Amino acid sequence: MGGTIYWIEGPWSGKLAIMARPRGGEWLIDEVDAWQKSGLDVIVSLLMNSENLELGLTQEPEVIGQQGLHFLSFPIADRSIPISFREPVNPR
């Protein structure tokens, strides 16, 4: 199983990819297994806590860890930008 992984070429070392959110609930283990077999080792979720609840993804950190992958949560609200970019930048 697993959704399509879109690899992004760039000047950095390593690999970077994006994909749609995984299927939750009983399918989550299959999704994470497919990621691991595809060579992914760090998963960064941009979903909000409320979305995780709605989509059945509350166990995502644990399932990912059980497969030997690393999980990071960096929630960004839809049609928004990360909080770190909202703060004014002091030129000096």
User: DSSP string spanning 41-55?
Assistant: -EEEE---HHHHHHH
**Long-range Cβ contact pairs of 10-18 (< 8 A, separation 24 or more):** 15/39
Tokens at 50, concatenated: 């409320």
Instruction: Indicate whether 88 pLDDT > 90.
Output: no
Q: What is the pLDDT of residues 1-38, one digit of tens each?
A: 568 999 999 999 999 999 999 999 999 999 999 999 99
Q: Pick the more confident residue, 82 or 89.
A: 82
Query: In total, how many domains does the chain have?
Result: 1
The answer to whether position 54 is within a domain reads yes
Residue 21 in domain: no
Domain with 49, as residue range(s), is 29-79
Average pLDDT of the chain is 90
The CA distance from 64 to 70, in Å, is 7
Residue 7 lies in a domain: no
Residue 56 lies in a domain: yes
Asked if residue 8 belongs to a domain, the reply is: no
| 8 and 16 Cβ atoms separated by less than 8 Å | yes
